[in-house]
Structure 1
Amino acid sequence: MDDKPVAYRASLLHFTDDPAWNDNAFQWHEDGLLIVRGGRVQAAGDYHQLVSDLVPHAKVIDCRGKLIVPGFIDTHIHYPQTDIIASPSSGLLPWLDDHTFPGERAFADPAHAAKVATFFLDELLRCGTTTAMVYCTVHPESAHAFFEESDARNLRMIAGKALMDRNCPSYLRDTAEGGILESERLLKKWHGHRRQMYAITPRFAASSTDTQLRLAGELAQAHPDVFVQTHVAENRDEVAWIKELFPDARSYLDVYDRVGLMRPRAMYAHCIWLDDHDRKRMADTRSAAAICPTSNLFLGSGLFDFASADAARMPLTLATDVGGGTSFSMLRTMNELYKVARMGGVHLPAMRMFYLATLGGARGLQLEGTIGNFASGAEADFIVLDPHSTPLLTRRTAQAGSLEELLFAFAMLGDDRAVAAAYAAGCLVHARDAASLTKSEAPGNH
């Protein structure tokens, strides 16, 4: 990796806290400079204050007229569901049976898994997502294929093999002990390998026996720096089914809690049908919720309760949940997030939506300081957003009288076209128009 500093001049925004609780939660430099060296952030601030810190003849990429923010962090997404996105169904459980499970069968083939992983990561980067928490299938081959492709691009990704030893087709079924042993082998190979990280992944409580969940909890306790990901309280029919399967559990969430799967670095998708006791347990254990608005609307699962979650101070993050979710774009996901909140009587400022998609995701994953903002020494994962990417966005942002209005326009009107470029560890990994990114300037000339 080239150790020479490279600087990017643009409007610069990142967060230092949750805007819901802190009025000074962000840093915005209208004429900003982001200095990257050795794949990490060296400095971020006002152009005229930092330009003198550059060594003579350092390269400055001129992105004026655009907005640089940290790369988006998608905390819940299924790469094997790429090809079944937008599949019609009457609800979550039929959708799994009719589309998801049959589609995942092919991932026993490493060549197929690698082909889908390549497209999946291309699509994430095109939409400005530089980190994701990813579900693979039950097949170890699917996890190896994903990590190999991610590692080749030097992306910061988290993924895990699904654990399923019941209530699924026989062709997707592992065993309680065998699934855990396969997970342990995968985490020993991939967790901490360069920028790859592993997640212990019981698909959802209905698809794992008590024994498998208990063994997953033991594995999680033995490896506290490894992640946990699963689903909880997504759909009322699912919640009722869990009650039948686990009659002694206080709630759906308690099924996981009693086996030791609630802890820092645990990510719970959906969290719609929780009660106040559950929300307090989420906060007390620092387990994070992945809010999945497009998926919840598409499958008719319900509306996330922002007011109750905030009252409990639950750690919150944002996720697309492809393929139940209908877009890889975190900007389009913000659009649906805002509407879900409004239906519950809550107004979400754009500032908070961008926080949830960046530093909020990093905090939920216990990765603050590594990704999610431009703190000195953080990995240089960032994206360049173009307010002139579509005629309508151009027209609307021209009328924006504040940073909040600009961000809100991106959230309501933006999509993958708004992402001019994405960088991972300081390297360009996506460019909408490569020619527009090659203009450089010598420091001190303006």
Structure 2
Amino acid sequence: MPCPTARLFALLAGLLLVSASVVAQQVDPVELLKRSAAAVGEAQSASVEFAVTIKQVRNAKVDEQTAAFLYRTAPGERFEFDSVAPEGAEGPKFGYRVAGNGGVTLTAIYGARRHMLQDNQDGFAAFVRSRGAMGIGSGLGGMALAFLHPAAMEDLAASVLKSEVLGEDEIDGERLIHARYTVEGGITSDVWFRAEGEPLVRRIEPDVLSTPAIQEMAKQFDKFDYQVRFDFNDWNPEAGFAAEDIRVIEPKDSLLMTSLFEPPAPKPYSLLGAEAPAFDLTTPEGERVSLTEAKGEGAVLLEFWATTCPICVQAMPQLERLHEQYAERGLDYYAINVGEAPADVAAFLEQRGLTPTALIDQSMDVGTAYDVVALPLILLVGPEGRVQVAQEGFRPETPEKLAAQIEAILEGEDLAAEQVAKLREAEEARLKERERLRSRLDG
């Protein structure tokens, strides 16, 4: 016969489980998101290990990759998100380090030996919203890292389309609240929060198999699976770090960039405002043309091109029309072919009915002198012989823009001087901003 005391304990345990489940069901899932991030933001000092696991099954091949980071905060708005090298790993460190001291945020990519500095207005939230965070965990890192910062969580919470609390689960012996969220873009994720104390996030499992990109990938294989999991381990909301425990200094042997996650601004053309290099070239028919003879009467329009460059060929008829429009006012137009034989160029132009004054630079010496790195390169040389306008590529708005520039040059305007002055001002401002940010580092 069962012991009455044992039966009583079993009954109480069952009631507690039912009670806890009912409480979990009554929690507002969106409030759980906000409370989870707020608990980290309000802590004087906190730490957690952030781990990413990606598992792919493609037919008989199984790949599993893991990456780990340590997130720490300290008084004075200091924080650090740093890659943790795998146990036993040797050689240079790879991954990210993002650290802020309340005045400046440093983001470094170890393997690339590149880093950037930003004002600390949003702190870690700025990284969470960046392409760098998206690169963690198959593009979902920003969503997961939002749980570490209240400002970033506000963005995530606002994007929730559907949410529900599913009940309670146990992971590694810890009682957790299990919720599910669908956000803008259609991603659904299961999220587990600590059920006791503050609802700190413990695990996130996005349903990546439901995304169009992964579904398209799956069509290539008979057997396919793709899993992404984010774990938040060893939470310590009272870590006790002091401000001096998190120092923000530039890494050694690393290049300071304006941005790590946006394409760099195109470099200004090296000869802008400089004397256009002289050349003596011939047409496919052998007629000699000299830039020295062409200069002085008006402007010269140069297009560096090749038969293998479709954009160059598309641009040519429109450049010919510009030449016809301004020829009486002294505009010359030369289409300088780079690296091809005269006979091939002549046959190509005849086949397509193109009639520019084509010049042959088969040795590419002139292309080198003009610092041609991409085709087409379109230049406007003023009557004084200096390069006034330089443009790589050809876009729909290019003809109209070139027409206005030709008008200005023929009227005597020095477009290059204006552009060079703007570039100089922009560079001076960039260097000044760089030094301002560097002055906020810890050393």
The two structures share one fold, judged by TM-score above 0.5: no
Bigger fraction of residues in strand: 2
TM-score, with length taken from structure 1: 0.20
Instruction: Return the structure number with greater relative CO, CA threshold 8 A, min gap 6.
Output: 1
Bigger fraction of residues in helix: 1
TM-score, with length taken from structure 2: 0.20
